Structure 1
Amino acid sequence: MTINVAFIGLGVMGFPMAGHLANAGHNVTVYNRTQSKAQSWMTSYQGEMAQTPGSAVKNADIIFICVGNDDDLRSVILGERGILACAKNGAIIVDHTTASANVARELAELCQAKEIDFLDAPVSGGQAGAEKGQLTVMLGGQQASYVRVQPIIDAYAKFSQLLGPVGSGQLAKMMNQICIAGVVQGLAEALHFGQNAGLDCSAVIDVISQGAAQSWQMENRSSTMLKGQYDFGFAVDWMRKDLGIALDEARKNGSTLALTALVDQFYADVQRQGGNRFDTSSLLARLHHS
């Protein structure tokens, strides 16, 4: 099945995701605020590029968005040249931005008035998952719309699931980031401890990764952490944005996130040490500087 899709936002995630849609045979029109990225995408994949979000979506049945934050999301959806002003009735917006649950609900209500459905659909898997087409997608919205978009999402996802009404996807992503923060801090402390104890940490990891301590972070980040390599992956700046969203939501729903708040401050330490663009595994670098 070939359909007309638009993809708004060609960052490290959106660029390959839009590429998978093109490779799956869909008619893809892309838009990026920095036009050079859209031009670069055009040299790698078949499709069209647009000068505004509105012109990108005018013929689209499904509109994918992957931008930076709540404000970026509003900027591409609202306004005279935005998505809502130009999208056709019956279109579906699939928003892959990691944003607040509140903005998802706010924009879904505005979309409903225009007979456009909205699914919040943040992803997990990072840049590598996007490039390999192996992302996990957490969605909130209407079942009927999910059924329509799920086969299209499969172009870049290994798994997707609808988790409830609009906002549920964002809440699930908050849980995801809360889990990651705690696991990375635990791994960083374990490696720091092992190094100070004079152990061969690589050998120890080979052993404990076969038991209950095993995690994705251990399997994929321990070796680079031991080498002090952090110039890749999911940036500390973005993790702090995500944890800030989770902590704000926790204040609203009465949750206690003591560990998350602490790790957020540890990431602030990494930022002060100049590691804004370091991978989140750089929590070990903070311990080396303490």
Structure 2
Amino acid sequence: MQVQFTGTDNYIATPDLTMAVNAALLLQRPLLIKGEPGTGKTLLAEEVAKSLGRPLLQWHIKSTTKAHQGLYEYDAVSRLRDSQLGDDKVHHIENYIKQGVLWQAFSADTPCVVLIDEIDKADIEFPNDLLRELDQMEFFVYETQQLIKAKHRPLVIITSNNEKDLPDAFLRRCFFHYIQFPDAETLKAIVKVHFPTLQEDLLQAAMAQFFRLREIPGLKKKPSTSEFIDWIALLNAQGLSAQQLQRNNGLPTLNGALLKNEQDLALLERLIQMSHR
């Protein structure tokens, strides 16, 4: 079983990203990954788990998520209902304790990879509420008076889209890496993973349009890597040639895969009209 991440056939990891994963493994620190949406932050955890031969446990954060839900939840409502019905299991409080992702990881017989996805969606206190648990790898269950300690320290990968700043105390405990938007060669390698038989001239023409689109000043949302992959899939399915793509000097063909709001669409239409005058 591998003790270092070296990338996978399905995920193109740059040398600095590979180094960041291995640094987190060596330091036994959570790995905090930031980057534009669509740059493969969530997918990284899946591929690291495959590469290391470890189980993956995923915790996708919402605006309503609380830190204790990653540890455990006590279902007091179900216990009250069962007590009213005279159910015997009401006498054993552990029947109403639901293990969270971190409890599952701590009690696993083999080391795991834990994904805490989009931590910045939660309230500002959420990261601070997990400081001790992620640092000491233990927590206390008050209802059952149990101390849960990790059998094996999991690799914790935390993603953020930079929607809000994270507390300094939390940042100090993490190894940080920002996934830069891929350059042309890296993007080409990523596309080849998904479409190994794609015609080279079509790929080059699509990449030229894509990078020109990303460079337009004032875009509310620049198209991402994942959106470029979707666009390539559509171009390929439609059987479009590089020549057809290059002849189109208006809006990009099937632009709904790349532009995701009306402001950016209107901006591009104005720029095209101005260029034709």
Q: Does TM, normalized by the shorter one, top 0.5?
A: no
Larger Rg: 2
More helix by share: 1
Name the TM-score, length of structure 2 as normaliser: 0.33
